[in-house]
Structure 1
Amino acid sequence: MKKEKVVLAYSGGLDTSVILKWLENTYQYEVIAVCVDVGQEDDFAAVKQKALSTGAIKAYILDVKEEFVTDYIYPTLKAGAVYEDDYLLGTSFARPLIAKKLVEIAEKEGAIAIAHGATGKGNDQVRFEASIKALNPYIKIIAPWRVWDLKSREDCVDYALKNNIPIPVTKKDIYSRDSNIWHISHEGGNLENPWNEHDENIYKMSVAPEKAPDTPAYVEVQFSHGIPVAIDGFQYSPVELVEKLNKIGGAHGIGIIDIVENRLVGMKSRGVYETPGGTILYEAHKSLEKLTLDRATMNFKKNIAEKYAQLVYDGLWFTPLKEALDQFVDSTQQYVTGIVKLKLYKGTCTAVASASPYSLYNEEFVTFGEDDVYNQKDAEGFINLFALPLTIRSLMKYDKDQQKKINKNKQVI
């Protein structure tokens, strides 16, 4: 009897290595391992070989870095979406792309199910499964962490040793990490106690800010319609541009955050994130928008950015609302073109200069010196109209107070 096939989101790490063998042992499935390259620095030849040697009947390595940057990172950057004021959504927007590729392979291979290694406590289970359901609701989803008898990463280590599965962690190095071209996250281990200061030795993309150069560095980022296209006058492909800024930012300790965040499933979690290049791009993009967007659009776009971040964090990438917000965001970016100069110094990234052919800043109007374009007397009429509701309210209150005084005086007489 022919065995049924399952597609596994595979990284070669502890969890997915154990899951591959567990799917085979528990359900007798033929496992097709799919490793989606979104920029994590892995030996993909070794990952593929490990999947096959662990029992997979086939292993795919899919390089989607270009698609990741252009179709997932850049739209979120243009929206200015930041979750809870800090998190630049590095893991969040990688999940819908990975899910999309898993569905494509499952359809191609005739697999009945997709399996993933997200835990029952985290956000990724929602991101994977909401995306899969949006793209193909007929594919079965298997989430081993919600059904098997293994209760911890330590149990996974034991299972791997028992089944002769080589693993990249030990019980001493138990951090859960997720990395891609945009960031790396660190969770678990001693980070689970928020009173523990994190150890700088966990950094992978950055140096500690205290160990960054004592001399500040400057970098210029050029944008075209809200999309970064050049660094210091040199044009780069999307992937090259992000990688270049990661090196520049990482060398100066840019983009390291240690946060407690609210997970979608209702609990708080603590993580350390490194996003060096992304932090530079967000700061540059925000600065250029301040130069080129009018006040009303900027203020309204902040509301859109917050909602956009919530959708991305919650795994609702493939939704009508997300598509509608993209249309709004794109309309705001038609004049977000120009150059921003940033100063990098020991973990800080500050925009210090900006220029755009669509700048709304007009020196002739705002100068404190003499000018011929602005009649200051015009401000009086503007203020009278602007403050008219306040004036009317104050007059009403004044009249009532006066009437009360008159009535009080009558009673005394």
Structure 2
Amino acid sequence: MAKQKIVLAYSGGLDTSIILKWLKETYDAEIIAFTADIGQKEELDGLEEKALSTGASKVYIDDLREEFARDFIYPMFQSGALYEGQYLLGTSIARPLIAKRMVEIARAEGATAIAHGATGKGNDQIRFELTAAALTPEIEVIAPWRLEQFREQFPGRAEMIAYAEKHGIPVTASAAKPYSMDRNLLHISYESGVLEDPWFDASAPENKDMYLLSVDPEDAPDQAEYVELEFEQGNCVAVNGERMIPLQVMEKLNELGGKHGIGRVDMVENRFVGMKSRGVYETPGGAILFSAHRKMESLTMDREVMHLRDSLISRYSSLVYNGFWFAPERLALQALVSESQKNVSGTVRLKLYKGNVIAAGVKSPVSLYNPHIATMEADPTQAYNQGDATGFIRLNALRLRVASGVEQNAAK
């Protein structure tokens, strides 16, 4: 009788390395390791050999970087999504893509289950499993961190490190430096370990070595650098006059942002499961793209359309953060977002300087800004009669006068 097949979302880090070995022993199953290349770069080196030597029967390492940029990052940035006013959702938006490809592999390989290394305290477990439920509801999901048997064997990271050493599994984590990192094309996140203390200063000079994508803003060049981003219907299609696909745009902006120390965020956020957690993020290219997109919208988007879309940013951001990328309500919101972006085309010029993204100009062939109407000087078009404002104000003040009169009469 053929063994059960389990597809494991495998990063090669401490948790998933241990889980691969543990699943194989515990379930007497064939483990197919899957790694999504979404921009981890050198973290992928030697991953296939490591997975096979740890016990995987087969390894998939799929280059999903262009799909990630085109179908996930770009649509999300069109929405203006920003979770709790700070987080550009770098980890959140990657999870539905990883889970989507994982269930596709499971179907192709005839696997009956998928597994992941997300803990029972975090958001990733929800993101993986809600995606699986939306796309392949019949598949079983194994989450070792939620199994009592697994937690009894590994109550902490020290036990996992000892297990890895015992079984000859190479891992980068150590008892001295146990904080975790997650890297992709959009960002890199840092959490746990010393970062669990929100008073710990992650920006201090002695902690510079933690950051991988950006220089410390204090060490960034003393000379500002200008960059121009060209947009078509809300999507960046060129940088400094060079046409690029979304993947190339993200890579170029990451390079520029990292050089100037742009996109660092240190925040305490609200997880979907109910607790607060502290995370430190580097999103150099994303911070530039976010700022440029907003400036392009300011020139080309109708006021009421913008305000309607903006009223939905918190909702959209929460859907992404909480794992509802493939939910019907996110798809419905995306349709509205796409409609709102039809006129968001033109060029934005920015100045990058020591961690700052500074506006330096915006233009568009479909600009809604009319200098003749907005001018404080005489309007040669006579499109706006200042005297009309008298009636406009009087009508808008009517309900305020009525309410004030009622209050005054009640006070007598």
Q: Aligning the two structures, in what range does the TM-score lie when normalised by the shorter sequence?
A: over 0.9
Instruction: State the secondary structure of the residue aligned to 2:82.
Output: coil
Q: Please name the residue that 2:58 is paired with.
A: 58
List aligned pairs for 1:34-183, cutoff 5 A: 34-42=34-42, 44=44, 46-147=46-147, 148=150, 149-183=153-187
Give 1:398 deviation, angstroms.
6.0
List aligned pairs for 1:3-402, cutoff 5 A: 3-42=3-42, 44=44, 46-147=46-147, 148=150, 149-198=153-202, 199-372=207-380, 373=382, 374-395=384-405
Stretch deviating more after TM superposition (317-326 or 345-354): 345-354
Stretch deviating more after TM superposition (392-401 or 315-324): 392-401
Stretch deviating more after TM superposition (157-166 or 349-358): 349-358
Instruction: State the secondary structure of the residue aligned to 1:7.
Output: strand
2: CA distance between counterparts of 1:98 and 1:200?
30
2: CA distance between counterparts of 1:353 and 1:155?
55
Give 1:375 deviation, angstroms.
2.1
1: CA distance between counterparts of 2:243 and 2:397?
49
**Structure 1: which 5+ residue stretches go unaligned?**
405-413
Whether the aligned pair in 1 keeps the contact of 2:74 and 2:246 (CA below 8 Å) is no
Tell me the alpha carbon deviations over residues 259-304 of structure 1, each in whole angstroms, 9 at most, x when there is no partner: 1000111111111100000000000111111111222222221121
Tell me the alpha carbon deviations over residues 27-69 of structure 1, each in whole angstroms, 9 at most, x when there is no partner: 1111000111111113545101111111111001111111111
| TM-score, with length taken from structure 2 | 0.95
**Structure 2: which 5+ residue stretches go unaligned?**
none
2: CA distance between counterparts of 1:393 and 1:137?
55
Return the letter of the residue paired with 2:187: H
2: CA distance between counterparts of 1:342 and 1:326?
27
2: CA distance between counterparts of 1:64 and 1:150?
32
Tell me the alpha carbon deviations over residues 311-365 of structure 1, each in whole angstroms, 9 at most, x when there is no partner: 0000011111011001100010000001111111111112221111121111001
Give 1:169 deviation, angstroms.
2.0
Tell me the alpha carbon deviations over residues 178-237 of structure 1, each in whole angstroms, 9 at most, x when there is no partner: 010000000111101111111222100000111111121111111100000011111111
2: CA distance between counterparts of 1:97 and 1:71?
9
Return the letter of the residue paired with 1:188: S
2: CA distance between counterparts of 1:56 and 1:277?
35
| TM-score, with length taken from structure 1 | 0.94
Instruction: State the secondary structure of the residue aligned to 2:18.
Output: helix
2: CA distance between counterparts of 1:58 and 1:129?
23
1: CA distance between counterparts of 2:291 and 2:55?
46
1: CA distance between counterparts of 2:409 and 2:187?
63
Instruction: State the secondary structure of the residue aligned to 2:312.
Output: helix
Give 1:137 deviation, angstroms.
1.5
CA distance 1:369–1:65, shift in 2 (3 Å): same
- Once the two structures are aligned, what percentage of the paired residues are identical? 53
Residues paired across the two proteins, number: 402
CA distance 1:203–1:228, shift in 2 (3 Å): same
2: CA distance between counterparts of 1:362 and 1:33?
57
2: CA distance between counterparts of 1:399 and 1:141?
66
Whether the aligned pair in 1 keeps the contact of 2:295 and 2:348 (CA below 8 Å) is yes
Greater gyration radius: 1
Give 1:133 deviation, angstroms.
1.2
Give 1:164 deviation, angstroms.
0.8
CA distance 1:26–1:394, shift in 2 (3 Å): closer
1: CA distance between counterparts of 2:51 and 2:345?
45
Stretch deviating more after TM superposition (266-275 or 288-297): 288-297
1: CA distance between counterparts of 2:268 and 2:43?
32
